[in-house]
Structure formats: C-alpha cells, structure tokens
Amino acid sequence: MNGGDPRDSDARDRGGDDPTGAGRGSVETDGGAASGAEASEGEGSRFSPADRVASVPPSGIREFFEIAENRDDVISLGVGEPDFTAPWAARSAAIESLERGRTSYTANRGMPDLRRAIAERVTRYGQSYDPDSEVLVTTGASEAVDLAFRAFVNPGDTVALPTPTYVSYGPGVRFAGGEPLPVHTRHEDGWALTTEALSEAGVDEADVLVLCYPNNPTGATMDADEMDAVAAFCREHDLLVVADEIYAALTYDGDHQSVATRPGMRERTVVINGFSKAYAMTGLRLGYAMGPEAAIDAMTKVHQYAMLSAPTTAQHAALAAIDRCDDEVEEMRREYDRRRRYVVSRLRELGLPVAEPGGAFYAFPRVADVASDGDARAFATELLEAEGVAAVPGTAFGAGGEGHIRISYATGLDDLKEAMARLERFLS
C-alpha cells in the first residue's frame, strides 16, 4: 500500500503527531521544571553533597561565561564545540531511525554493525580491536572517560593528569575516589609530554596515566618519538593508560599517534574516541571505548547498570557518519586548519607567543608578559570587559595553564578576524 516505504506506515502509526511542535513543547517544559526547582529552593533541602562531590570545586569557566552572557556584542572564542552542523547523512539517518520507530534500547555494548564500523574505522590509526569483545559504545566520550575511572581506579589510587588538562578528568578521578596527580607540560616543549615531566611529577609511582592528544586545551599533538618515549615509561612503571583521542581526526601536521599502537601498550590502554568533534555531533552524545576484553568487560559492567545503552537514534546517525561522511569531515578539518593558520600567525604578529597547535581546534597563547601580574584570569576578564572577546583563562585547565588563555577557533573566520582586531586594540 505504501510502496514498501516504512516511513509512510510509521508516520500514520504516530497518529499525525507534529514532531517539531513536540520538540518545542519539550524545551518549554524544561524551563518550567527549572523554575519549579527554584521555587522549592526556599523551602530548604535535606541534601548535602557526598564528600567526593563536595571536594570538587565548581567549574572555573562557568562564572566567567556568566559575564559574557550579559552582553550582546561578545565574540566567544571560548566554546569547545564545532560551529558546524552534523553532516546531513548523519542527521537524516537519525530522522530515518525515528521514522522507522527504532526507539528501543540496543545491546548494552552498542549496535553490532556500529561496533564493526568503529573497529574498521580505527585501523587508519593502526589500532585493531575485536568489535564483539573489545569495543563499547557510550553516551559521548564523556561517559567513556567516567567509566574508565570508575572501572579501574580504586580509592586512593593516583591518576596522573598532564596539565593544562581537559576540565573533566580531575573531577572524574575524584568522583571515582582517586587522587589526581598533575604533570606539568610546558609551552617551550610545544606542550608535549616528556619523560622528564613524568619523572619530576612522580608518575613512576602512579597507577593510571591519562593522555589526551591532540590536546584540549593546548592543541598539542605528540610526534612518533615523543609517543614512543612515553610508552616506554608506561611499560617500565607498569601504568594503565586512558588515552582520550577524541580529536584524532582533527590532526593537521603528520599522522595521529596513538599510544595503544606501541609495543606492550595495547594490553594496558583504553582508547576513547567519539563523534562530537570530528562529525560535529556534540548534541547526539555518542562516543566509544576500545581496549582489551577484560577492560571493556569491566567498563560494560558499569555502563550497563548506569546507562543500559547509548542513545539508539545517535547510534544510527553515527553509523551513517562513518559510512558516508568522510568528505564533510575532511572539509571541516581543512576549514579548521585554515583558521588555525590565521589565528596562530595573528597571535604571533601581536607579540603573543603560541606553540603551534597540531590538532583539535584550540590555540593556547602566553599572555603572562602582557597581563597585569602575569595573571591569565585578570587578562581574560579585562579583554572581555573592554573588547567583548571571550577567551578562557588557562587556569581553568589546572595550574599548568597559568599565564595563558585558550582560544577556540571553532568559530567562523569573520568572527575570528574581528576578535583578533579587538585583541590588537586591547593590547595597544
């Protein structure tokens, strides 16, 4: 009757609901819920956070962006997400999955064909994982990071975090009962992790090392020799490694280097990746973890009780993304690269030293020489107040970020040009 197109029959089954209207309605409901919560706040609460939660300070970025929200002329170089929309093939696969009524859970580990596609895709980085037993699909890379900490960190274990560091690792380690150990990387080394830095920080005594290359917030990548040396250190000191490689596809100079491909490292490494950055799919919330079977089994145990399975609609989008969106990913990568070159050369022209970012979409210039008292936070606040340019103070990424700011070039070139003109005026 309907030409075999399941979308026709499924649309009828839904009784003519208008999905757009339903979407708008749900946004309004969220607002209502928020004001309801505010109203009940005055009545007092019997909740106080558990010690693990209380021990984590509030995000250093949030308060800063509240200032930005109150102005309408702000150019934000603060966001850590693509300014692109997910490729159409991925979005249409999500729509089709809903039209076909695929609204159930999937297997805990994720749809088998998606796991196969992921395992096939990462062979380009020299990685080889069995899709049945060594791949777990998660709700964003964020969930995978959290699962890794909860699955492998015992109370009191030390987890080494190269700093400047992505903001979620420290809190994640604490929520799991572990102790973060900062490892200072340096502007002068291009923010690469060196074995000297690992030794100085006492990582030989640690239990787990987190690696994030290409890096948020510095944009640093590691070359093959640097990665070999870090791998040797991990083997020598028997460290487990959580390698967050979510920016792997956004590498500009040379090939992505994964620690898991080094001899003796696969068995001690969990690799995390996802669809948010390369495919501009942040809101779809899809990531994955790969590692030896015992590691993935342990993470799956936590995942199956905490999450059951990653969002089904997003899994269909992700499968289409891998199968059909290579051209769009490459176009976005080229555009980021163009912006990267522009931003780096302008910052240097303005006298702000910046290490060449080899990946992700961040630059991390030093402002210590031009900021009052070398204070990055004061610099970022003054820049925001005087010129309406929002960049994140480096201190939001741990002590190692002092004297620097993070500039995200996941922002259109016109806005970047205007932001650099304003920065020039501010500096002069």
Q: Which of 274, 394, 401, 403 binds ligand PLP (CB under 6 A)?
A: 274
**DSSP readout, 108-119?**
TT--HHHHHHHH
Place of tokens 């596809």: 249
Q: Which is nearer to ligand PLP, 97 or 273 (by Cβ)? A: 273
Residue 337, judged by CB atoms within 10 A of its CB (0-12, 13-18, 19+), counts as middle
**Residue 403 CB, nearest approach to ligand PLP (Å):** 21
Q: Which is nearer to ligand PLP, 362 or 379 (by Cβ)? A: 362
Here's the x/- map for ligand PLP, 18-57, by CB under 6 A: it reads as ----------------------------------------
Residue 171: phi and psi, rounded to 5, are -60, -40
Q: Rule CB under 6 A: which of 147-176 touch ligand PLP?
A: 166
**Residue 363 CB, nearest approach to ligand PLP (Å):** 15
Name beta bridge partners: 163.
Answer: 184
| Residue 216 contacts ligand PLP per CB under 6 A | yes
Nearest-angstrom CA–CA distance, 256 and 252 = 9
Q: Which of 74, 77, 136, 141 binds ligand PLP (CB under 6 A)?
A: 141
Count residues near ligand PLP (CB under 6 A): 13
Contact 190, 356 (CB under 8 A): yes
Amino acid letter for position 185: T
Q: Which is nearer to ligand PLP, 322 or 368 (by Cβ)? A: 322
| Residue 287 contacts ligand PLP per CB under 6 A | yes
| Residue 309 contacts ligand PLP per CB under 6 A | no
**Residue 167 CB, nearest approach to ligand PLP (Å):** 8
| Residue 355 contacts ligand PLP per CB under 6 A | no
Amino acid letter for position 83: D
Which residues fall within 8 angstroms of residue 159, CB to CB, at 6 or more apart?
A: 149, 153, 169, 173, 178, 179, 180, 181, 206, 207, 208, 209, 210
Q: Rule CB under 6 A: which of 65-104 touch ligand PLP?
A: 80
Q: Which is nearer to ligand PLP, 212 or 227 (by Cβ)? A: 212
Report which secondary-structure segment, H or E, holds 159. strand 158-163
Q: Which is nearer to ligand PLP, 282 or 381 (by Cβ)? A: 282
Closest of 317, 266, 255 to residue 293, by C-alpha: 266
Q: Are strands 179-184 and 135-138 parallel, antiparallel or unpaired?
A: unpaired
| Residue 206 CB-half CA count within 13 A | 28
| Residue 288 contacts ligand PLP per CB under 6 A | no
**Residue 131 CB, nearest approach to ligand PLP (Å):** 20
Q: Which of 76, 194, 261, 276 binds ligand PLP (CB under 6 A)?
A: 276
Nearest-angstrom CA–CA distance, 228 and 213 = 14
| Residue 389 contacts ligand PLP per CB under 6 A | no
Extended beta strands in 63-107, E state:
75-76
| Residue 261 contacts ligand PLP per CB under 6 A | no
Chain contacts with ligand PLP (rule: CB under 6 A): 80, 140-142, 166, 212, 216, 244, 246, 274, 276, 282, 287
